[in-house]
Amino acid sequence: MVSWGLIISIFPLKPFWRDEWCMLYNIKFKDADQLWGKLDFTQQFPRVYLQIVKAFTSAFDYSYQSLRLQSFLVGAAALGLTWRLARRLFTDKPERYLFILVIAGNPMFIDYLGQVKHYEMEMLMGLVALWQYVEILQPAAPSNKVRKGALYLSLVAAPFFSYTYPIAIAPALLLITLAAMQKNGLLRQRRGEAMLFIAVSVVSCAAFYYFDAAEVLKDTNMHNFWFERVDYINGGIQKRSINTWKFFAKTGAGALFEVVFGIACLAATISAALRVTLKRKSLPAPTRYMLQYALLLVGALIGLYMLDKIPLGQAKFTIFAAPALSLILAHGLKHWTGTSKKRAPGIITGILFAAMAGNILTAFLQIFTSDDYRLKLKTYHANVRAIELAKKDHIPIVVTPAIGLPDDITVPVPYLSMPDAAGILKTYPDYHEKDGITIVATGKNPNKEEVMHSFPEGAKSVVLADGTNVQVISQEEEH
């Protein structure tokens, strides 16, 4: 997966799409100061992270590689941290590898790898929250000051890179408080350290709210959009039941694997809840604390969903919970294989790993072999040709809405806006303001007369781009 991510970050095999165009327009055409304020086109992005993306991509003139590479590096870091966590959390290889594969094979993680969006970072910060929780409960090197410093530095920084990190760390803060206060709590002897951990985290999250999240709340269009979206997604009892199922099922890719992993995750969650509540004393303390964290996070998300605070049916909005679901599923495998007889453990393990391999393959096939992908790639390369031809001949470009295919950019979405066809083409890595190319948008399927009316003043020829065909049209042809 890392190799594939590197390939699509270097070679233009992953076309940009609607959401990315909106974000890219902000990144390319707003300066660093403006990015602290309201973003155009109802976009949101953790501002500190956005500043880093702006600095990195602008240093390379917004090349395709710089735009894709920054997100790929975040995804690669997430996989690296997943590997390290797996080695600390599980002694047996089947559970360890299942934990890794469930996260690496998450369809949203694969889809957003390399995209100019913040969902890879949401996954990484969900893993960071889990690592912070593990590190305070059972430090890998208690006397290592550098490691301890890194822990507290991560507590300060993490909220500023993710809108969902405060949700991910909240169950950990509650459990750390209990572990420090209870008579037999795991942190009873390190109460001061636990309280410092909590204080630093709370202050940092509060600062993040003041400097970043408060700006999001000022965006009226964003508020209205989410109000309608949550109301639409949440719906009645039937809709809520379906979306709750999707929360577990979207661990898989495609109808078959959604059923397999939906059932597996739901069964593992129920099993974990029963063991934590009914067989609490028989569970090893580390296992109990990990399952409590994962269950609290899952329960909190379902609770927020029932209160109409978050959507639950779309996996990208809860991608930060993937580590918790992976943790529950891996512990479920350990429990089922440990209590099953004869060949059952091998059968269960074989089914889950075969399904995981198929899940990853299906996720890749859905993204990179679909008709939608082929049309996106065709349109992308046609648009790049239009820009290159305009640069070569030093002439303007007239574009139709079809340059956004397969997205129909003419369809209005309540409370959402996006760049017009000309704005979309300007977000392309091949377009640079310094080249002085004028881009003008025209309507759908324009005839030659309509194209002529779109000519910028003084232009004798233009490149006409409609997402499929690229041609030069000259006024002399009409005389």
Task: List, for residues 136-191, the tens digit of each pLDDT value.
Answer: 998 877 778 898 999 999 999 999 999 999 999 999 999 999 999 988 778 888 89
Percent of the chain with pLDDT over 70: 95
- Please state, in angstroms and rounded to a whole number, the distance separating the CA atoms of residues 343 and 347: 6
Q: What is the DSSP letter of 400?
A: -
**Lowest-pLDDT range of 100-109, 239-248, 404-413:** 404-413
pLDDT for position 246: 92
Angle at 363 between CA 267 and CA 321, to 5 degrees: 45
Helix 119-137 vs helix 64-89: angle between axes, to the nearest 10 degrees?
30
At 286, the pLDDT band (50, 70, 90 cuts) reads confident
The token pair at 143 is 């006397």
pLDDT for position 138: 87
* Whole-number average pLDDT of the chain: 89
Which of 212-224 are b and which e, b meaning 16 or more Cβ less than 10 Å from the residue's Cβ? Answer: bbebbeebeebee
Q: What is the DSSP letter of 371?
A: H
- Please state, in angstroms and rounded to a whole number, the distance separating the CA atoms of residues 133 and 443: 55
Nearest residue to 355 via CA among 131, 148, 17, 102: 102
- Please state, in angstroms and rounded to a whole number, the distance separating the CA atoms of residues 71 and 322: 18
At 478, the pLDDT band (50, 70, 90 cuts) reads very low
Higher pLDDT, 433 or 457: 433
pLDDT for position 342: 56
Are 473 and 461 a contacting pair, CB within 8 Å? yes
Kindly tell me if the per-residue pLDDT of 69 is higher than 90: yes
Q: Computed over its alpha carbons, how large is the radius of gyration of the chain?
A: 25
Kindly tell me if the per-residue pLDDT of 73 is higher than 80: yes
- Please state, in angstroms and rounded to a whole number, the distance separating the CA atoms of residues 39 and 27: 9
The DSSP H or E segment spanning 398 is strand 397-399
Neighbouring residues of 152: CB distance < 8 A, sequence distance ≥ 6: 196, 197, 200
**Lowest-pLDDT range of 66-80, 194-208, 306-320, 354-368:** 354-368
DSSP string of 19-79, one letter each residue: HHHHHHHHHHHS-TTGGGSPPSTT----HHHHHHHHHHHHHTTT-HHHHHHHHHHHHHHHH
At 99, the pLDDT band (50, 70, 90 cuts) reads very high
Mean pLDDT value of segment 446-466: 85
Q: Partners of 471 in the beta sheet?
A: 464
